[in-house]
Amino acid sequence: MSNRFSDILFQLVHSLEKSEKRHFKLYIKRSSGKEDLKVVHLFDVLDKMPEYDEVLVLKKLKDVTKPQLANLKNHLYKELLASLRLLKTTENVDLQLSEHLDNARLLYNKGLKIQSLRILERAKEIAKANQKFNFLVQAISLEKKIETLHITRSSVDKTEELTQEAMEVSEHINRVTRLSNLALLLYRWYVINGHARNERDETDIRAYFKQELPEDLHAVNGFYEKLYLYQSYCWYAFIRQDFLMYYRYSQKWIDLFTEQPILIGVETGHYVKGMHNLLNAHFDLRNFDKFEQTLKQFEAFAKTPEANQHDNFRTHTSIYINSARINQHLMKGSFKEGVALIPEIEDSLQKDALYVDRHRILVFNYKFATLHFGNGNYEASIDYLQKIIHGPLDLRIDLQCYARLLHMMAHYELGNYDIMESLTKSVYRFMAKMKNLTVVEEEMFRFLRRSFGLSPRLLKPELEKFLNNIKHLEKSRYETRSFAYLDVISWVESKVYEKPMSAIIYNKYLQSKHR
């Protein structure tokens, strides 16, 4: 898969749906001269190739040299984008607005100033209805230019209204920019580091959030300002493992779309991400009933035209639903049923490899490993963990650490005691270096060092002692992530009470449901 999508033109060709390919063929044959139809031949060659191979491309295009191929590829790339723009303009508000702005500029350049202003007025109405303030800035800028340079017979009131509108939009854009920057940087912090690991992380993230949060929050109004404000609070709460706050702001995020359903089609990506966060919040809080309700709502959305309008939305909706289904099995302890889903999910990820990022693959590999571990398939669990352990270390330090910890536990379950001492030292050093050791992990390493080679009769008291030492930490802020990524308590309880881990977790699920 490493070289499969190495060429950007190859990526674009293989992202096209049948209708898009058909439209391109019609478009290029109408708009190009006979000598330009080489791009169609190149398109057909790339479309039939499973992987990009430039040597093979040149063999197929016998009358094209290597320098000519670069120009031909560039030409095809531009023509594909032009074809997509024609086909997709009516489906996308941003493309519609761009077309209106382009038309207004063309008319203005032709000297048809009044026609240009009329188009800008219509475009501004669409922009306001869809809260596209970034576009309003461009439209107002052109409108002001026309009014400044030419006599258009606009009234004084109209001119004053235009200047006031420009000021209001400018202030709004400024707030949106600051809030979207904050949301983005907090999300980046999480992707790199995971959750806050200690008091220092907590202090740093609090100080950063307070410093970057706009002072004029009382003026926050409108869809986008609220959206980025709620996103910022979501990531802030999630990093700090304040799962109740995380839930509240995830719900506010989705409520924005519930109040203005037309914006689900305008900002589908934000809606999909919001549903993913709301499901994660229910998972972290073990809100079983609300989790199931939200998952059903999300699955229903997956069948709507909005979810399937673009590959990007379709793919991410599918990814997040599959992630939620795995979480549901992790909550219930139904590991066997969860393991049965893995081949289907892997096929889906392979099919959509063009759209799936490394971070998502990392998370799925960890979840697959956890399902296999809970189901007693320790060797299969190790296979998935090896993919994380031997991969890059630039993402999710927390998952890198827990993958190694789960890997060590799987070898312990397999009875590979001959490597346990060196493995324990290696994992301990790695987690200490990454500053990812909590009290729970310290207790686990202490238990493992004491338990090597103990008989079952002597091991039982050590397990009970280990359980007693960590049970009270279940509600501790900085220990929460240990239990969220690795249910150590249920694992130890399964040893102490001599029951399968799945039975221990399912019993907890039933107890929570009846509270």
CATH of 346-515, picked from 3.40.190, 1.20.1300, 3.90.190, 1.25.40, is 1.25.40
Instruction: Count CB neighbours of 32 within 10 A.
Output: 15
Q: What is the DSSP string of 383-442?
A: HHHHHHHTS-SSS-HHHHHHHHHHHHHHHHHTT-HHHHHHHHHHHHHHHHHTT---HHHH
Q: 306, exposed or middle or buried, with CB in 10 Å at 0-12, 13-18, 19+?
A: middle
Would you say 264 and 271 are in contact if contact means Cβ atoms under 8 Å apart? yes
* Nearest alpha carbon to residue 233 among 245, 217, 216: 245
Q: 315, exposed or middle or buried, with CB in 10 Å at 0-12, 13-18, 19+?
A: buried
Look at residue 357 and give its three-state secondary structure.
coil
At residue 384, φ and ψ (nearest 5 deg) are: -70, -35
What is the token pair recorded at 105? Answer: 């500029």
The pLDDT value recorded for residue 30 is 77
Dist. CA 247–CA 228, nearest whole Å: 16
Would you say 229 and 241 are in contact if contact means Cβ atoms under 8 Å apart? no
The pLDDT value recorded for residue 372 is 96
The pLDDT value recorded for residue 2 is 41
The pLDDT value recorded for residue 332 is 92
What is the token pair recorded at 489? Answer: 């308590």
The residue type found at 422 is S
The pLDDT value recorded for residue 1 is 38
* Nearest alpha carbon to residue 57 among 67, 46, 68: 46
Dist. CA 356–CA 314, nearest whole Å: 12
Dist. CA 495–CA 180, nearest whole Å: 47
For CATH 1.25.40, the residue range(s) in the chain are: 346-515
Residue 194's region, left for phi above 0, alpha for psi from -120 to 50, else beta, is left
- Mean pLDDT, consecutive 10-residue stretches, the chain (515 aa), reads 65 88 85 69 90 88 86 90 83 84 88 87 85 82 79 63 81 86 89 77 88 79 91 93 94 96 91 96 91 96 91 91 95 94 94 84 94 95 94 79 90 87 87 75 80 74 86 66 74 89 90 69
Distance of CA 77 to the CA centre of its chain: 27
Residues contacting residue 277 through CB under 8 Å, at least 6 positions apart: 234, 238, 246, 250, 253
The pLDDT value recorded for residue 471 is 81
Residues contacting residue 440 through CB under 8 Å, at least 6 positions apart: 470, 473, 479, 482, 483, 488
* Chain length of the chain: 515
